[in-house]
């Protein structure tokens, strides 16, 4: 599927196509299983104060935003199948300008099931579509973040993997991954990525494991640029205590890019075959999922399609999150994200196309990058069994070499009231935690 199939006018349609899936999941399997479900409604007001205001930005449009949201979280556990879903549509509207409004969607889905005694299927899906009225929502995850000041954007990632247990300690895996970033802003370029990987894993002990992987991927862009990437890697993971998890990975990648457009999307008369670039990848993830105290932190460095640049980029992502509850009434949380993407072209690299570009001369493709940091604090106070008062503060800082990823800094304060509409069972499992391990082991061969 190429970028010609992208719908420039409808990033929200991607999210709307998932609604039938939600209805199917709510219907649930007919067999006996453990259903955990929470449905909440939320209404609130966000006030933002910008430090740096670029020419043409109407600050009043951002000062006060009303928000109404529905938060649905569920998980369902059967003997050989586990799934979890979190979905939150939210309507936002400027309180100063009634013409500025939009509907955002945030979805996470995880599924893990045993197809046979030895073959296991895992699916992870993440989608975030926003009209950019409230550009950042705290999330502790390793994803590249770059904010625009106006215009719809959509980020989607899907990962499907099959794991075959050859013996009690050895397994083979095959995975496919698909990602998209779609922007309404004309000066940002949509991207699509498709990748495949093969791996082999060894269980050193019941709680320790090492893996080796090899992968191939392809990036395609709206401006017709394209890239092929190859990777090799190794990883180590282990459980820490009852509720902790540690994972480490390191690897090597190489990439070939074919550039058919200049920095502003202008076509080149002669395609530029960039020399092979190589680099390293690595990451660390540490988490603890206790009943009262939950935290996670991590770092990743890798090559990626980039966010809106129209060319491949090296990315660094750091995240940390902490949440705790005090008694039955109070809950507190802290989140921090930092991300950086840098164009692989390097500093002001000059690419001579021979016949030149549209003006008949050499094309200068300067590197572009974005740097983003955000920190958030939030608090919840249960007023009763069905009501909860929520509040939060966020500080965002961004610097960029490319518009409309402008230099951007602001403070944001949020106050809202959440109403518990329905719940059953215990707290639902988070989609990202579904299927981390299988309870059964095959016989030795």
pLDDT of residue 158: 95
CA distance 331 to 378: 8
What is the tens place of the pLDDT at every residue in 125-181?
999 888 866 667 766 566 788 877 666 888 899 999 999 999 989 999 999 999 999
pLDDT of residue 111: 95
Residue 351, pLDDT > 80, answer no
Residue 217, pLDDT > 90, answer yes
Average pLDDT of span 62-71: 86
Residue 358, pLDDT > 60, answer no
Whether residue 189 contacts residue 174, with contact meaning beta carbons closer than 8 Å, is answered with no
Query: What are the structural domains of the chain?
Result: 38-433 (2.40.160)
Secondary structure in 3-state letters for the chain: CCHHHCCCCCHHHHHHCCHHHHHHHHHCCCCCCEEEEEEEEEEEEEEEEECCCCCCCCCHHHHEEEEEEEEEEEEEECCCEEEEEEEEEEEEEECCCCCCEEEEEEEEEEEEEECCCCEEEEEEEEEEEECCCCCCCCCCCCCCCCCCCCCCEEEEEEEEEEEEECCCCEEEEEEEEEEEEEECCCCCCCEEEEEEEEEEEEEEECCEEEEEEEEEEEEEECCCCEEEEEEEEEEEEEEECCCEEEEEEEEEEEEEEEEEECCCCCEEEEEEECCCEEEEEEEEEEEEECCCEEEEEEEEEEEECCCCCCCCEEEEEEEEEEEEEECCCEEEEEEEEEEEEEECCCCCEEECCCCCCCCCCCEEECCCEEEEEEEEEEEEEECCCCEEEEEEEEEEEEEECECCECCEEEEEEEEEEEEEEEEECCCCCCHHHCCCCCCCCCCCC
Q: How confident is the model at residue 6 (pLDDT cuts 50, 70, 90)?
A: very low
What is the tens place of the pLDDT at every residue in 370-408?
899 999 999 999 998 899 999 999 998 988 876 667 788
pLDDT of residue 353: 45
pLDDT more than 90, % of the chain: 48
Higher pLDDT, 26 or 214: 214
Q: How confident is the model at residue 301 (pLDDT cuts 50, 70, 90)?
A: very high
- Ranges 23-27, 239-243, 328-332, most confident: 328-332
pLDDT of residue 29: 47
What's this model's pTM, rounded to 2 decimal places?
A: 0.82
Residue 302, pLDDT > 80, answer yes
pLDDT of residue 101: 85
Q: How confident is the model at residue 27 (pLDDT cuts 50, 70, 90)?
A: very low
Residue 90, pLDDT > 70, answer yes
Higher pLDDT, 131 or 232: 232
pLDDT of residue 49: 81
pLDDT of residue 140: 56
pLDDT of residue 191: 93
Higher pLDDT, 17 or 143: 143
Residue 117, pLDDT > 70, answer yes
Residue 41, pLDDT > 90, answer yes
Average pLDDT of span 305-326: 90
What is the tens place of the pLDDT at every residue in 408-443?
888 889 999 999 999 998 889 889 888 765 434 444
pLDDT of residue 368: 66
pLDDT of residue 408: 80
Residue 109, pLDDT > 60, answer yes
When mean pLDDT is compared across 28-37, 195-204, 257-266, 388-397, the lowest value belongs to 28-37
């Amino acid at each position: 599927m190429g970028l010609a199939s992208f719908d420039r006018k409808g990033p929200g349609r991607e999210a709307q196509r998932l609604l039938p899936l939600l209805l199917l999941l709510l219907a649930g399997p007919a067999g006996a299983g453990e259903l955990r479900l929470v449905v909440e409604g939320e209404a609130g007001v966000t006030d933002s104060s910008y430090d740096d205001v670029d020419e043409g930005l109407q600050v009043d449009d951002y000062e006060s935003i009303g928000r109404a949201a529905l938060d649905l979280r569920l998980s369902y556990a059967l003997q050989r199948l586990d799934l979890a879903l979190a979905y939150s549509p939210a309507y936002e509207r400027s309180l100063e300008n009634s013409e500025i409004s939009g509907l955002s969607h945030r979805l996470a889905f995880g599924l893990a099931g045993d197809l046979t005694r030895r073959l296991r299927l895992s699916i992870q899906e993440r989608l975030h579509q926003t009209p950019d009225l409230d550009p950042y929502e705290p999330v502790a995850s390793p994803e590249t973040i770059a904010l625009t000041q106006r215009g719809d954007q959509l980020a989607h990632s899907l990962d499907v993997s099959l794991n075959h247990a050859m013996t009690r300690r050895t397994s083979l895996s095959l995975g496919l991954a698909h990602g998209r970033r779609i922007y309404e802003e004309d000066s940002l370029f949509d991207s699509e990525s498709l990748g495949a990987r093969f791996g082999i894993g060894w269980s050193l002990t019941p709680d320790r494991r090492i893996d080796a992987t090899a992968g191939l991927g392809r990036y395609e862009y709206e401006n017709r640029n394209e890239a092929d990437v190859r990777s090799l890697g190794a990883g180590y993971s282990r459980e820490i205590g009852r509720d902790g998890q540690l994972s480490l990975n390191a690897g090597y990648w190489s990439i070939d890019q074919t550039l058919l457009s200049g920095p502003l999307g202008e076509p080149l008369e002669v395609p530029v075959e960039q020399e092979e670039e190589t680099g390293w990848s690595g990451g660390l993830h540490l988490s603890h999922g206790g009943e009262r105290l939950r935290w996670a932190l991590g770092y990743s460095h890798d090559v990626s399609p980039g966010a809106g640049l129209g060319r491949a980029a090296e990315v660094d992502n750091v995240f940390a999150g902490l949440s705790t509850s005090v008694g039955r009434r109070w809950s507190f949380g802290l989140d921090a994200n930092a991300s950086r993407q840098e164009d692989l072209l390097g500093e002001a690299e000059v690419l001579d196309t021979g016949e030149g570009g549209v003006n008949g001369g050499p094309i200068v493709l300067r590197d572009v990058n974005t740097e983003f940091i955000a920190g958030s604090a939030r608090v919840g106070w249960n007023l009763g069994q069905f009501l909860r008062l929520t509040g939060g503060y966020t500080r965002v800082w961004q610097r960029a070499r490319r518009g409309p990823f402008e230099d951007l800094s602001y403070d944001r304060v949020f106050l809202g009231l959440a109403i518990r509409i329905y719940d059953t069972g215990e707290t639902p499992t988070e989609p990202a935690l579904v299927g981390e391990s299988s309870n059964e082991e095959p016989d030795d061969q």
